[in-house]
Structures are given as structure tokens and as C-alpha cells.
Amino acid sequence: MPDTTDREITVKDFKGHINPDWCPGCGDFGVLNVLQRSLAEMNIAPEEVMIVSGIGCSSNLPGFINTYGMHTLHGRSLPIAQGFKLANHGMHVIACGGDGDGLGIGVGHLIHSMRRNVDMTYIIMDNSIYGLTTGQTSPTSGFNMKTKSTPFGNPELPVNPMALAISAGCSFVARGFSGNPKQLVEIYKAAIKHKGFAFIDTFSPCVTFNKVNTAQYYRENTYDIQEDGHDSSDMQAAFARAMEDGKIGTGIFYQKERPTYEEPEKETFDIPLVDQPLGVDEKLANELNAQFL
């Protein structure tokens, strides 16, 4: 699959026809900007990209970027994104959504997607709150955090996305912060280039309903693990970084290429499903198109 097109691609090529309606200051603006910049710097054409989302504030992203896109069901973006990739291997497939969408109702799909290793990218915009439904505890909300649904403090331990991904066999595990676009662009580019399932947990602060995990908090409490000498090929080192207390590491925690899910499927890998012959004559094909389209 070619990684570039013959024409020069710019960020403007990815500007959507609808302006984002996120709250002013929302971290999702940063994620959108970084994703557009990453694709442009890789010279990937908009028509070579499919973005699939679930439900939530962040899951509106496919409507704000000029690529193919699909806004699906809560927690169900990954099955649909994988199906699209298996049907059309020539596309760069990116799934996106929030921490509630991916680490709550969708966590079962996430674990199996990671071990399956379909060649695609998954971005979680992690704000540690349910923003669309106005401020309830999410899977990554901190212990004892007070929210609309936990006024006396959250009684549950938060999910650790990095440890979960590494233990599930994910072949690319990274974390970033939308307020650090220089680092995040390089992470997204590496994830999209990676042959296999790439997972990036991206801190994307909710300015309206989460007054704890703010942009200022992440600016003061994150550090770049690559600058600190981390070896992303070392799984044990990746686990150690994932379990750290105190300062929060960002960067590529773990990366190791292994066979993708598509590779043993030679018939569909060599000839994508979208290019397979229908096995029907032209008359019947036209009748079916008329009936369903």
C-alpha cells in the first residue's frame, strides 16, 4: 500500500466543510489539528483515509475533517473500522472516540482488536469524564474524584490504558497530550506508519466538566519518556512506565511489529473485498443496486 500520493498534500486539504462545535478550549481541537497535520506531513491524500468514531463529544470528529468518515454507535467504532480495513486494505483506517466510548462500553472490542492486530490506528481522546452527558464519572476518572454521578467521590479505581494495551498484546502503545502538538504529531505519524494495530491514549482536557485534569495540570505533570531514555522495544520497561506514580509519561511506550490479522488471509489481502468480482451478471447487479441503494 503506498504511503503517499503524487500531489502535494497540505493541512487545508483536510479542512472539513463543518466547523467544530466543541466548547472553546476543548482539547479535541488540538487532536483534530494534530491529526490533520500528521496526515499532511505524511502526504496522505484525504481520499485514502477512513475515520470511524463511536458516540461522544470527541466522536464528532469525522464530521470536522475532510476524509471518508462514519459516526457509528457507542463503543462500536472498532468492529466497523476493522471491517472496513479488511474490505479495503488500500485505505488508512483511523478509529477515534472518548475514554468512555473506548474504555467503558467498548473495552471488550478494544482488547480483541489489540490481540487481533488489524493494521489500523485507534485514538482515544481521554478527558476522564463523560462530557456529552454533562459530567459523570468515566473509566479514567481518578479515585475519589467528585463528579455529577459521584458527589461523595469516585469509589472505583481508574482504568490504566497503557497497562491494559500492553497486556492485551497491542503492537503499538503510546500516550500523548493535545496541548503538546510537537510531540503528538510525531506519535500520530509513527502510529499511522506502524504495520499493525496502533493505540494512542491522548489526554484531551474537558474545559467544561473536568476541573481536575486540566491543560495546566498536564503541562505541569507530564514528561517525554523518549527524552528520558525509554526503550520502546522493551515490554518490561513499557510496563514499568505504565505503572509509574507521580509524573505521567508520554510518548511511545511499546512498539513491536508482528504479523497482522490480514496477512494469512491471502485471497482477500491480495485482492481486497471491494475489488472482488460480484459473480453476478450486469442486469442482476443493476437490480440489486436499485433495490438497496
- Burial status of residue 6 (CB atoms within 10 A of its CB: 0-12, 13-18, 19 or more): exposed
Phi-psi category of residue 169: left, alpha or beta, with phi > 0 → left and psi -120 to 50 → alpha: left
State which H helix or E strand residue 50 sits in.
Answer: strand 49-53
Question: pLDDT (tens digit, 9 = 90+) per residue, 239-252?
Answer: 999 999 999 999 99
Q: Is the pLDDT of residue 45 over 70?
A: yes
Q: Is the pLDDT of residue 115 over 50?
A: yes
pLDDT grade, residue 280 (50/70/90)?
confident
pTM for the structure as a whole: 0.93
Q: Which amino acid is at 248?
A: I
Terminal CA-CA length for the chain: 29
Nearest residue to 106 via CA among 62, 136, 138, 142:
138
Report CA-CA distances (Å) from 241 to 161, 178, 191, 201, 247.
12, 20, 19, 14, 10
Please tell me the predicted confidence (pLDDT) of residue 129: 98
Mean pLDDT for all residues in the chain:
94
- Tell me if 188 sits within 8 A of 201, measured CB to CB: no
Please tell me the predicted confidence (pLDDT) of residue 268: 63
pLDDT grade, residue 36 (50/70/90)?
very high
- Tell me if 202 sits within 8 A of 123, measured CB to CB: yes
Question: pLDDT (tens digit, 9 = 90+) per residue, 128-170?
Answer: 999 999 999 999 999 999 999 999 999 999 999 999 999 999 9
pLDDT grade, residue 1 (50/70/90)?
very low
Question: pLDDT (tens digit, 9 = 90+) per residue, 215-233?
Answer: 999 999 999 999 999 999 9
Q: Is the pLDDT of residue 2 over 50?
A: no
Question: pLDDT (tens digit, 9 = 90+) per residue, 260-272?
Answer: 998 887 666 677 7
Instruction: Please name each of the domains of the chain with its CATH number.
Output: 11-292 (3.40.50.970)
